[in-house]
Structures are given as C-alpha cells and as structure tokens.
Amino acid sequence: MSEQFLLTLACPNRPGIVAAVSTRLFECGFNIGEANQFDSTETDRFYMRVAFDAAKPDASIDKFRATMAELAVKFDMRLDIVAGAARPKVMLLVSKFDHCLADILYRWRIGELRMEISGIVANHPRETYTHHDFAGVPFHYLPVTRDNKAAQEAELWRLVQSTGTDLVVLARYMQVLSNDLAAKLSGHCINIHHSFLPGFKGAKPYHQAHARGVKLIGATAHYVTADLDEGPIIEQDVERISHRDTPDDLVRKGRDIERRVLSRAIAWHIDRRVLMDGAKTVVFGN
C-alpha cells in the first residue's frame, strides 16, 4: 500500500471548494480514500478532512502542497497536510488519580494510540506511580504550590518546547492552568473533566451530581481555554445510575467513563478528525 496523507482545512463557505480540492488531488496523481465535510450555518464556515494516497507512480506530495497553497489564498483557507503515519509527540500531565494515565499508557503500548509520549509530568513524586511501567518514558516531578506556580508553569512550558510536544493531555491533572499557559497551548491541550459539561463544573462534580439526585453521570473531554471547563467539547459519554449509588459509587463508575472519553478524544485529535468551529468543534468521527 502507498503512503497515506491527511488534509484538513477550514475556510469561509462558498461554492466550488470540494470540486477545487478534488481536482487538484486528481491532477497531482492522488486517490481519495476517505472524505468528510461540513458546512457550519452558524459560522458560515466550511470544514473538510480528506485521507488520500497515490494513484499514479508519479504522484507528488510536494506538487500537491504547492497547488494547495495557491488554493488557500483563493479561498482564504487554513489548511494542513501531514503523513497519515505521523506520530505526534504527546505530553501527559497527571496528579494523584492515575486511572486515565494507566489507560493511555496501555493503549499506547498496544498501538491503539498512534503517538510518541514526550514525557509524563506529575505534581506528585515518582513513588506515587510505582505500579506503572514508565520504561522508556521520561518522568518529570514538578510540585506546585501557590507560591511557586509561576515558576512551575515556566518549567512545564520549557519542557513542552524542548521536547517538541504537539499535544498536552491533562489526564486528571488537578491543577488549573494560568491564563498565560492556557493561551500558549490553545488548540493543543486536552482536558478530561469528570462531569457531563456544562453541568457540575469545578471541584467534586460527582458529589455535586449526587446531591442533585441525577440519574446520569458523564465525563467530558475538551480543549483547554482560559475559562475553566468552558473549552470546546470534543467528546462526552454517560452512564445511568440510581438512588442507591453513593458518591463513592459515582466516582468509581465515573473512572471508566473518563478513561474511554479521553482516549477517544486523543485518538481523534491525533487522526486530525477534530476541527475548531468557534466555541465548538467539528468532529469527523471514526
């Protein structure tokens, strides 16, 4: 099989975009394997994701990049073209609760998450995670207090830059990022919130849900913004509960939801299936 590539684009909506992209793929010797598109009537913008590979021996990805650059000017496009097998560098941030970290490591080791882990950053010491196999994965202990938060985030940002990290994942990292760091990581930082947003934001959402007597609990993976738990939502899931469930039961059941929601969000981001649409996302699900 020939190498696969992924094209993603966003631009103001107008007729002729799909025809123009398809024509240039054909002219450069490529075949479309999968195509998804969406017209946002609310923002009047067009979104597209195309998986393609060579249909002819002389297919040229460089030629296609050049002709798409010309098209980007014509249609005012924001576009990206990457190799389908590319393995983005992902940094995992974690606190005491490590169930999401364990799940991500497992899925990564079996090849389900196509990525390279650039490091694990924790605000708890390495001894907290003795039951995990971190072999080959750099571990960084960055404790944080009210007094050293600015310095701790500066070191965190230095690690992100020095490792060439493409995506930061808050795998139940129980620290609120500063507005400055959230802005630097805009569109490149995913958080898992242990609640079905926009309900029950902030601390102890399962206890909040129990106090309200809800019949469904959930989890939400979203991009991080300066506004706490307000970032564009990528994925959510729920599970039914009953009046017999205690807050501890909700926490236990919630762990399973959190794991699967976060892993799906990471996989879709890596596979270029998530495009920003203002305060929302367009997700071309697998």
Active site residue 248: no
Give the type of residue at 225: T
CA gap 130, 115 in Å, rounded = 23
Q: Which of 229, 249, 256, 271 is catalytic?
A: 229
Q: Which strand (E) or helix (H) includes residue 216?
A: strand 216-223
Structure tokens at 207: 């206890």
Read off φ and ψ for residue 251, nearest 5 degrees: -60, -45
b/e string for 198-207 if b means 16 or more Cβ within 10 A? Answer: eebeeeebbe
Specify the pairing of strand 274-277 against strand 280-283: antiparallel
Q: Which of 283, 176, 60 is nearest to 68 (CA)?
A: 60
Where in the sequence numbering do the catalytic residues fall?
Answer: 229
